[in-house]
Structure 1
Amino acid sequence: MPEEISSIFNSFQDYLNSESELREEIRDIVKDIEKSARDILMILQNIHNENTIEENIIVSQYCKKARELFGDVRQHYGKLATVVTPDQYYRFHDQWRFVTQRLCFLASLMIYLEMKILVSKQTVAEILGVQNSREDGFHLDLEDFLMGLLQLSTELCRFAVNSVTNGDYNRPIEISRFVNELNAGFRLLHLKNDMLRKRFDALKYDVKKIEEVVYDLSIRGLKPSVAPAEQEAE
């Protein structure tokens, strides 16, 4: 083989070796992120097992523990940002896409439990320790954030059902109002992404299921005459 051709293909091999090492390094970091996400999920899943007695205090403790674990998440994303240059972000994005969507869901659930509000994209980016916009470098992709919010609706639907089981008849009403507002917000978007569109379709069923829970409370005479938010306003 001529030396010139050999030199060319040796450079190709060097590139492939470097690429393989980079992908392996990314995978190792993503595994750490996935472990932290599992730990946070295990903590926040405990909200489904609590009775109404001192529930707000207990939920607050779960959120506090989750916030501590998000500190590890920020460190992991910091390492990922040093390995992946901004121009290569979408080249390797698929490796951390799904765990980021899950963490967006967990962050939005934590904020909802703490403040009963819809989290902003910027706040989630800060919780994860990444940038909010593409121009600033390693960032939170908008579609990943939206997928996280859609996962939140399913979790809150489950939470509404379990709250009734645990004797809390106020929470399903709060959740129903919140998820309806979330649904109205998504309806303002013209979704073309297939995955987002399919997941948004599932949100409609979450809304319907929560409305059925509230309706069931009404016909059984268990629905509070004044919602908690209205009591605070008074």
Structure 2
Amino acid sequence: MSDNRVITSIFEEFQKNLDQEQELRETIRSTCKEIDQLSREVLTVLQVIHNNEPAIPQACQKARDIFEKVRDGYSKLKEAVPDHEYYKYQDHWRFMTQRLCFLISLTIWLEKGILVTHETVAEVLGVSAVEQRLGFHLDIEDYLVGLLQMCSEVSRLAVNSVTRGDYSTPQQISKFVMELNAGFRLLNLKNDHLRKRFDALKYDVKKIEEVVYDLSIRGLLPASGNADAASMSTE
């Protein structure tokens, strides 16, 4: 009987831990679902960039308003996830965070035409930019995947800009993506997912180059733009 009581006690403790674990995962899943819905709202808001250029500033402001709610969501995640256990639960928010990195980087590029830093994205999300053993942080890989996703979106923007008679935006996109591509080539990427995502960047670059070159041969670019397109064609 004594041994049975000991075994029962041990397994009752196991069940208690399993219940607590399940409860925590449900809390994390629920919070991530709320944040993910907000990210989809931002994605919908920013789709206006492809067909209504005058509305872009208002779309960016609306996106920033939603990012404030996203920040509150990440604050809940930080409170829920125990210290030292970030990577144990990371799969719950990994892809959602990558999408948000893409949306934040796109918003800031639309506003200022610059590459957002890892630190700035972390600040918008309200998390630490430093990978650390304690506390919630923005993983560098998630940030980089977000940038690659942004490249796909702006390559689409380059094409749609031409259809509405905007010939300067493709030039701006071309310069930006080429510089970003050069930056990624400095990295020795060994992670399979990130490496495959980077490999897709060459197709985005090619699409943008074709748009700019087509504008050039049609005489729709200023002299500097023609020179840049000619340079691309010889590479």
TM-score range for the pair, normalised by the shorter chain length: over 0.9
Write the mapping of 1:9-88 to structure 2, written as runs, cut at 5 A: 9-50=11-52, 55=53, 57-88=54-85
Q: Counterparts in 2 of 1:141-160, with a 5 A limit?
A: 141-160=139-158
Matches of 2:175 and 2:131 in 1, distance apart? 33
1:219-230 → structure 2 map (5 Å cutoff): 219-226=217-224
- TM-fit CA distance, 1:205: 0.9
Q: CA deviation at 1:223?
A: 1.5
Q: Distance in 1 between matches of 2:50 and 2:207?
A: 17
| Aligned-residue CA RMSD (Å) | 1.1
Q: Distance in 1 between matches of 2:6 and 2:180?
A: 61
Higher relative contact order (CA 8 A, sep 6+): 1
**Which residues in structure 2 correspond to 1:80-159 (within 5 Å)?**
80-135=77-132, 137-159=135-157
Distance 1:224 1:92 in 2: 52
Question: Match of 2:6?
Answer: 4
CA deviation map 1:47-84 (0-9, x unaligned) = 1011xxxx3x5211110000000000000000000000
Consecutive unaligned residues in structure 1, runs of 5 or more: 228-234
2:229 alignment counterpart: none
Structure 2 distance, partners of 1:226, 1:205, is: 24
Number of residue-to-residue matches in the alignment: 222
Corresponding letter in the other structure for 1:21: E
Gaps of 5+ in 2: 226-235
Structure 1 length normalisation: TM-score?
Answer: 0.93
d(CA) in 2 for partners of 1:224 and 1:73?
41
1:205 paired with 2:203, answer yes
Q: Is the 8 A contact 2:75 2:126 kept in 1?
A: yes
Letter in structure 1 aligned against 2:90 = H
Contact 1:169–1:224 (CA under 8 A) maintained in structure 2 = no
Q: Look up the match of 2:233.
A: none
